[in-house]
Structure 1
Amino acid sequence: MPPRLDRMIYVDDSGHPQSGLAVYGWIEFSPDHWRSVLRCWLDTRKRLWREFGIPVTEELHTTAYVNGRGRISKSIPGRHIHDGYEYWKDFGREVAHECLETLRCAEGLSLGAVYRRGKPDNLAQTKRELYADLVTRFEHELLESDSLAMIFMDGDGSDSSYRTTHRGLALAERRVIEDAIHIDSAGSQLIQMADLVAWCANTTIDRHEKNAFAAEWYKDHLSERDPEREPKEI
């Protein structure tokens, strides 16, 4: 039998430029679970609209709303308002917990994250090399299962290094179909899910006082969906 397409992989990046840390996180599922995974997430987005006034079309960019910078709702719940002051960080973290539980419970979903530490002044190269090694890992897995995959990434595709990574592989042996397909995260619920995975992986690896509140989010909410159980250094 010819190999079949059985993995759809949505990838986003994170990291800490000041220390040279590069991170990629992803969600994935087989094509026949595409509808159920997206439905599970959209059901959560509709609940966030009903309960918190967050439009389904509003981009949930983790860095922004978890740190209180993103005004994702025009009317946050009263429990996050004290003495007339809106506590956007507390609100954002409650939203994050709702989204994390959705990732934990979505049928057919798996996820993962990888990272590498490089020199702060050479982060772009570290990211390129990490991505290349991640694709190589996917290719090896796909060879073992005799299957195919597609990779979707945040962005407009202007960074040619991603394309170069795929085209540097022998065409006769490639298992990832085409190059990575770039999608604007603002319009992709699935990329926003991957963004949350990448962000949580980053806070697990790069632990410091400012993100201590989320240091265990990956372990507590995402590890059971990760075959490796934690972000892996490669």
Structure 2
Amino acid sequence: MLIFLAERSWLGMGTVYSKTTFRGVPFAKERARVYQELVKLIDGRLLSAGEFGLLVMDGDGTDDSYISAHRSLPLQTRCLIEDPIFQNSHKSQWVQLADITAYSAYQHLLQHESKRFAWPWYPRLSVQDVLGEPQEV
């Protein structure tokens, strides 16, 4: 699957992350902050390219913080034209591809010994990384 992704010159991807030891409500707030930074980054890239986009993500839409991030974008320049569209990954091969990309980035950054097999996955995709490498936000 990673070879499929790496060989698609028209397909771009990128990763943002935050290192934290938070749990519970503080973790949820940090996750929402990181997602908001991602949304700003995507919206800015779309604006620079003169394009519009939709964001499709894994999940059921019960976490309002994802919608809040989109609604906080300035309407005058907003290029992400809708709130996120949620789809469970088992129903979408594209969402599954995004999941494996996120998992490979996570393992590349974490480098837990028991997941050594996954460490080289993200570097294989780096040719597609529009940010060059995972960006801490």
TM-score normalised by L of structure 1 = 0.55
Q: Which residue pairs with 1:167 in the alignment?
A: 71
| Cα offset, 1:184, TM superposition | 1.3
Flag the structure with higher strand content. Answer: 1
Distance in 2, matches of 1:168 and 1:228, equals: 23
Q: Secondary structure at the match of 1:150?
A: coil
1:217 equivalent to 2:113? Answer: no
RMSD: 1.3
Distance in 1, matches of 2:96 and 2:108, equals: 19
Q: Map 1:26-175 onto structure 2 (within 5 A).
A: 99-121=1-23, 122-175=26-79
Distance in 2, matches of 1:161 and 1:218, equals: 27
| Cα offset, 1:183, TM superposition | 0.8
Q: Which runs of 4+ in 1 moved over 4 A?
A: none
| Cα offset, 1:212, TM superposition | 1.5
**CA displacement 1:22-55 (0-9 Å, x = unmatched):** xxxxxxxxxxxxxxxxxxxxxxxxxxxxxxxxxx
1:226 equivalent to 2:129? Answer: yes
Percent identity over the alignment is 36
- Say which one has the larger Rg: 1
| Cα offset, 1:115, TM superposition | 0.6
Which consecutive residues of structure 2, in runs of 5 or more, have no partner in the other structure? Answer: none
**Does the aligned pair in 2 maintain the 1:113–1:231 contact within 8 Å?**
yes
TM-score normalised by L of structure 2 = 0.91
Q: Secondary structure at the match of 2:56?
A: strand
| Cα offset, 1:173, TM superposition | 2.2
Distance in 1, matches of 2:45 and 2:9, equals: 22
The number of residue pairs the alignment matches comes to 135
**CA displacement 1:125-177 (0-9 Å, x = unmatched):** 11100000111111222222222111001111111111111112222221101
